[in-house]
């Protein structure tokens, strides 16, 4: 009988002990037994590493500690390298804010056996708070809109064909791959730090001849955007803007890259909009346009999202990659705090 493949699961923790423990609890229930788990602590400052050391002491997990936050790419690279050094045949990179179905590895390994030409596989990923609704089923690059589309996103699983299918990239929240893929194409590019690193890596894998597939029978639930403090934050805006430019310069045509750059550039400056409706006096039209322009300038100067976007473009142009500037994290902290529920007589809080 052939020996079953050795699977290593890499879980990255950064100040998220509760999520990490829930993730590890789901991994202990995996039916596939020839697997090991390595948790990489990415320079946590909340004391979570102490609890992880206790788990590692009884060999329920292996623990790798980083002194600093290396981001998604750098932190997971530590875990991937650790797994490769210990003879991994397959590796699953799983977000710590995700939980796995007990058959996850069985289904992914089954797909790997059925499709030997493919090197990267991803499960269907569902919203944690709405467990029957899809967050990620596949990704497709649109050369017309200069962006990725996510077919199936927001739909119920019953509304989407449950077929193993090609995808332009596998979502980094649950990225499963043959160990020989990373041995051939290299680790995640640490310039990205967060966002677009998995799409960059999958595109490199595809160029090397490895297909990327999503496997509907393999399932994961994800607490979306927990690592960013929510979606649409200054932190997310910064990384999404800078890294999309970095990704585009490598993986799309010149026309598409300039399309990406134009769309981003249009958001960097205010627009002077003239109301061309008939019957409005010319002086009033120009006055309204001027007032609107000044308001837009004031908004863009002070809006944390616009500040983050401008800094992202500047850092791309100046080739400053890796982690974001401390100012962006401070903006995000204030931005999240301003939108958090507060305790008032009319609002008892949480």
| pLDDT given at position 278 | 76
| pLDDT given at position 267 | 80
pLDDT in tens, 82-141: 999 999 999 999 999 999 999 999 999 999 999 999 999 999 999 999 999 999 999 999
Is the Cβ–Cβ distance between 27 and 100 less than 8 Å?
A: yes
Report field, pTM of the whole predicted structure over 0.75: yes
| pLDDT given at position 3 | 84
| pLDDT given at position 193 | 97
Give yes or no for residue 293 having a pLDDT over 60.
no
Give yes or no for residue 291 having a pLDDT over 80.
no
| pLDDT given at position 342 | 47
pLDDT in tens, 45-55: 999 999 999 99
What are the angstrom distances between the C-alpha of 325 and each of 45, 91, 102, 291, 337? 19, 32, 40, 33, 19
Q: Which range has the worst mean pLDDT, 160-169, 251-260, 295-304? A: 295-304
Is the Cβ–Cβ distance between 8 and 91 less than 8 Å?
A: yes
pLDDT in tens, 237-249: 999 999 999 999 9
Token pair of 129 as six digits: 């708070």
Give yes or no for residue 71 having a pLDDT over 70.
yes
Token pair of 212 as six digits: 């990327």
| pLDDT given at position 344 | 34
Domain range annotation of the chain: 7-225, 234-338
| pLDDT given at position 338 | 86
Percentage of the chain modeled with pLDDT above 90: 79
Q: Residues 6 or more apart from 80 whose CB is under 8 A from it?
A: 10, 91, 93, 182, 187, 188
Q: Give the chain's mean pLDDT.
A: 90
Which residues make beta-bridge pairs with 165?
214
Is the Cβ–Cβ distance between 24 and 107 less than 8 Å?
A: no
pLDDT in tens, 295-342: 665 565 678 998 999 999 999 999 999 999 999 999 999 988 888 764
| pLDDT given at position 271 | 62
The CATH architecture one would assign to domain 7-225 is Alpha-Beta Complex (3.90)
- The distance of Cα 174 from the centroid of its chain, to the nearest Å, equals 10
pLDDT in tens, 133-159: 999 999 999 999 999 999 999 999 999
């Amino acid at each position: 009988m052939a020996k079953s493949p050795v699977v290593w699961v890499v879980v990255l923790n950064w100040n998220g002990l509760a999520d990490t423990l829930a993730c590890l609890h789901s991994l202990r229930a995996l039916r596939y037994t020839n697997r090991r788990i390595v948790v990489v602590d990415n320079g946590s400052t909340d004391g979570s590493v102490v609890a992880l050391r206790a788990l590692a002491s009884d060999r329920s997990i292996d623990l790798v500690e980083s002194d600093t936050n290396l981001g998604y790419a750098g932190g997971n690279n530590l875990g991937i390298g650790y797994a490769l050094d210990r003879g991994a045949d397959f590796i699953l990179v799983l977000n710590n804010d995700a939980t796995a179905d007990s058959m996850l590895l069985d289904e992914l390994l089954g797909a790997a056996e059925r499709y030997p030409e493919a090197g990267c596989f991803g499960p269907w990923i569902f919203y944690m708070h709405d467990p029957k609704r899809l967050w990620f089923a596949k990704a497709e690059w649109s050369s017309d809109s200069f962006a990725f589309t996510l077919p199936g996103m927001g739909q119920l699983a019953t509304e989407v064909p449950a077929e193993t299918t090609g995808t332009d990239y596998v979502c980094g929240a649950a990225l499963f791959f043959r160990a020989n893929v990373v041995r051939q194409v290299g680790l995640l590019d640490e310039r990205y730090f967060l966002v677009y690193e998995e799409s960059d890596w999958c595109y490199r894998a595809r160029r090397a001849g490895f297909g990327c597939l999503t496997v509907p029978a393999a399932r994961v639930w994800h607490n979306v955007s927990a690592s960013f403090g929510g979606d649409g934050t200054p932190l997310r805006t910064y990384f999404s803007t800078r890294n999309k430019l970095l990704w585009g310069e490598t993986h799309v045509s010149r026309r598409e890259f300039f399309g990406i750059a134009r769309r981003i550039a249009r958001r960097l400056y205010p627009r002077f909009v003239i109301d061309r409706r008939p019957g409005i006096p010319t002086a009033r039209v120009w006055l309204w346009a001027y007032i609107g322009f000044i308001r837009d300038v004031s908004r863009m100067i002070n809006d944390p999202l616009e500040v983050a976007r401008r800094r992202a473009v500047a850092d791309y142009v100046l080739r400053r990659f890796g982690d974001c500037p401390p100012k962006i994290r401070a903006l995000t902290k204030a931005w999240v705090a301003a939108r958090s529920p507060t305790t008032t007589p009319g609002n008892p809080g949480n």
